Amino acid sequence: MARFQLALLGATGMVGQKLVELLDAFPEFELAEVAASDARVGQTCAGRPLLSARSIQSPYVSSALPSSVATELEPLLVQRGHTVFSNASAHRMRRDVPILIPDVNPDHLRLVEEQTTPGKLITNSNCVVAAIAPPLSCLQRLSPIRHISVVTLQAISGAGYPGVSAMDIQANVLPYIAGEARKIQAETKKVLGDGKQDAGFSMMVHVHRVPVLHGHTAVLHVELEDAVSVQEISEALQMEPEIYSCYEDPLAPQPRVHIGDRDTKIHIGGIEVHGRRVGLRVLTHNLVRGAAWAALSNARFFVHAMEPVR
């Protein structure tokens, strides 16, 4: 099988390191180049010399750059003909850029046809949206959604390295993450829309940083237009065992117990139904499904959908 050459930007960060770790699950790709900040050029990562991001040659690029850098650099690479799969939030809300979750909105890939550049730009979602959008999509297939309330308990690794001060987070909960609630609202509506128009439900989000290393938990309360049953929801989720692990144990799921270092699953517990109102808990590994695995899955989906058979 021919392999696609892939460059990795931001290779030395937490998401970049997780991308390197997960690449063996994506045999379509050969890690041809790694890049980081100019201060690290010449050092090694994944057995390869670190390059300047502006000097890469590979046709496909997985970008784990911070948004402050991605804002300028990713469009430059796309203009040069590279196809960029970005983990950054910088360009997610552009109307011609898909926030792609292949399990949820594969048809949104068509948005790249509106991009007039030689290369293309595809983004994955915010790490919380990666966790909640698939089960919300499942509910949306059972009944239209009127309103969603989200309360998050987000791991400290989601803040990157060196992250949150130990003096602030130890034995504590921080009830604010700058810009996070707005991102979750906007991206969820875009992902669950039709690609041209955002979803029309209302949404309320409260975010919290908690002293957990890996694993974002979200509590969802969803108001539907029609009444559904716990059995209907459970059966719909269990039809996709490669995506969901569902628990009846009231103590599940827990970050330390139920997620592993390479865990791609969405773990769901606490399903309750009161007429048209549904409640559930969601847990995912924020660096895997929420970031690195999401970007690589988008790259795989793109090459299989857009490239000629090799």
pLDDT at 37: 86
pLDDT at 308: 55
Please give the Cα distance from 230 to 235 (Å, whole number).
Answer: 8
Q: What is the pLDDT of residues 174-211, one digit of tens each?
A: 999 999 999 999 999 999 999 999 999 999 999 999 99
Please give the model's pTM, rounded to 2 decimal places. 0.96
Q: What is the pLDDT of residues 243-264, one digit of tens each?
A: 999 999 999 999 999 999 999 9
Q: Which two tokens stand for residue 303?
A: 């090459």
User: What CATH number matches the domain at 4-125+290-306, 3.90.180.10, 3.30.1370.10, 3.10.20.440, 3.40.50.720?
Assistant: 3.40.50.720
CATH class of residue range 127-285: alpha beta
Contact of 20 with 31, CB cutoff 8 Å: yes
Residues 6+ apart with CB under 8 A from 202: 146, 147, 148
Bridge partners (DSSP) of residue 216 are 284
DSSP conformational letter for 243? T
Domain layout of the chain by residue ranges: 4-125+290-306, 127-285
- H/E stretch holding 153 reads strand 145-153
Residue in 108, 214, 216, 267 annotated catalytic? 216
Residue 307 CA, distance from chain mean position: 23
Helices 127-142 and 230-238 sit at what angle, rounded to 10 degrees? 120
Residues 6+ apart with CB under 8 A from 21: 261, 262, 292
Please report, for residues 37, 96, 185, the alpha-carbon distance to residue 126 in angstroms, rounded to integers and kept in the order given: 23, 18, 10
Spatial CA neighbour of 92 closest among 119, 126, 123 = 123
Q: Which two tokens stand for residue 224?
A: 């539907």
Q: What is the pLDDT of residues 229-243, one digit of tens each?
A: 999 999 999 999 999
Please give the Cα distance from 137 to 175 (Å, whole number).
Answer: 27
Please give the Cα distance from 128 to 122 (Å, whole number).
Answer: 18
Helices 127-142 and 180-191 sit at what angle, rounded to 10 degrees? 40
Residue in 45, 127, 138, 246 annotated catalytic? 127
Relative to beta strand 4-9, strand 60-63 is: parallel
Q: Tokens 């065992």: give the residue.
A: 241
Please give the Cα distance from 39 to 57 (Å, whole number).
Answer: 20
Check if 127 is active-site: yes
Contact of 302 with 280, CB cutoff 8 Å: no
Q: Tokens 């969820």: give the residue.
A: 188
- H/E stretch holding 128 reads helix 127-142
pLDDT at 1: 64
Indicate the SS3 state at residue 103. Answer: coil
pLDDT at residue 66 is higher than 60: yes
Please give the Cα distance from 271 to 269 (Å, whole number).
Answer: 6
Average pLDDT over all residues of the chain:
96
Q: Give percent of the chain with pLDDT exceeding 70.
A: 98
pLDDT at residue 53 is higher than 60: yes
Q: What is the pLDDT of residues 83-142, one digit of tens each?
A: 999 999 999 999 999 999 999 999 999 999 999 999 999 999 999 999 999 999 999 999
